[in-house]
Every structure is written in structure tokens, then in C-alpha cells.
Amino acid sequence: MAARVDHGVVSGTFSLDGETFEVDNNVWVVGDDAECVVIDAPHDVDAIRAVIGDRKVRAILCTHAHDDHVRVAPALREQVVAPILLHPADRPLWELTHTDYLWDVDLTDGQQIEVAGTTLVALHTPGHAPGAVCFHAPDLGCVFTGDTLFQGGPGATGRSFSDADQIVASIRAVLFQLPDETVVHTGHGDDTTIGAEREALGSG
């Protein structure tokens, strides 16, 4: 059975630097009918589990440690009994949300995560956050970019632990190496493609 991508939208808040915003987050689930991995753990465990169904969860993959992406990761871990994976450069952000728990496995650039007969490749793309990671699924022709690349351009870099020059450098050096037709599944909002965003960002 071929792996597929399932999707939900979960509403809640994002807080950083003393401000709080209402946000809708995408949660992405990659797998088949038997097993899956979850990309990000926003806001509400029940809403995430509705996308998972009764499948075995192999891992909870975090694109970065902003609170709207990891707040319920430990609660989800407890329910589905799967390790949380996060790039260690995001520890300062993680610790703003979770002081009693750490994640389980450090993500590294180029790391391969196998699920349901397909492979996700972790791509370290710092800028929105120091430990921001995208997950490329070559067999599925898509990449999960978290808040690094959206429909319409790079993610926000106005707050602490972000770097505007670095996010653009990461997008050009890493994400724009992927084929134009690669579908981009983002952390918030609609899908796009690598080709559309390459054209929009220009060669600068």
C-alpha cells in the first residue's frame, strides 16, 4: 500500500516576545493505513488524532519549536507512544514552552525517516528558527516546510531567534535545489510549489 499525505487544520494561539496571536496551523500525517508519522503537534491532541485515526505513529516530527507547532507534542507522545524529533538548535525556543519535558531524538541535516515504505529526508533550513527543518518526501513529490516557506514567500523573521538573511539563504541553497514541480505543504495556509516560489522570490 502506497504512502499518502493526510492533513488537518488546528486552531489556537502563537506567543513569542510577549505577544499572542490567533493562528490556524496545518498538521500533516504521512503514512499508509497501518503506520504514519505526524509533522508538527499544534494546539489540540484530539484534532491531531482525528487525522491519525487508528494508525501506529512512528514519530512526531517537529519543523521547529515555536509554541504553536510543539505545544501538545508531549501530550501526543504520551497518547500514541512515539518519539518526538526536533533539531537541537531550537532548544531555546522549546524551553519557552516546555520546561518539564525534552524531545527524544535530535534531527540532523540529511537524516532519513522511513515510514510506510517511503522516506522523508530532514533538511536543516535555519532562519525562521535556528533549528527549522523541512521534510522532503521524494517519492511523494512534496516537501513539508513548516514556517520556512509559504505560498507567497519566506516565513516571518521579525521575532527573537529569527534571521531574515539566513531564511532566504536557506531557501535558495536547500529548498530551491528541489524540482520545480515539488508540492510545498506549509505550516500555515495553502500549498504552493517550489517553482512558483522560486519565480516569486527571484534570483535577487
**Residue list 146-175, contact with Zn ion (CB under 5 A):** 147
Nearer to Zn ion, 44 or 147 (CB): 147
Nearer to Zn ion, 58 or 71 (CB): 71
Q: Which stretch binds Zn ion (CB under 5 A): 62-70, 95-103, 109-117, 190-198?
A: 62-70
Nearest 5°: the CA angle 29, 57, 185 is 15
188 is a site residue for Zn ion (CB under 5 A): no
Q: Nearer Cβ to Zn ion, position 113 or 167? A: 167
Size of the site for Zn ion (CB under 5 A): 2
- Alpha-carbon 172 to chain mean position: 18
75/122 Cα distance (integer angstroms): 23
Per CB under 5 A, which region of 1-9, 23-31, 140-148, 170-178 contacts Zn ion?
Answer: 140-148
Q: Pick the stretch among 25-33, 60-68, 98-106, 169-177 that binds Zn ion (CB under 5 A).
A: 60-68
**Which distant-in-sequence residues (6+ apart) come within 8 Å of 17 by Cβ?**
159, 160
Which whole-number Å values give the CA distances from 171 to 167, 175, 189, in the listed order?
A: 6, 5, 18
Question: Contact region for Zn ion (CB under 5 A) — 26-34, 38-46, 107-115, 139-147?
Answer: 139-147
DSSP state for residue 188 in the 8-state scheme: S
Distance CA 89, CA 131 (A): 4
- Residue 66 binding Zn ion, by CB under 5 A: yes
Residues 116 and 36: beta-carbon distance below 8 Å: yes
Q: Closer to Zn ion at the Cβ: 118 or 162?
A: 162
Which residues are near Zn ion by CB under 5 A? 66, 147
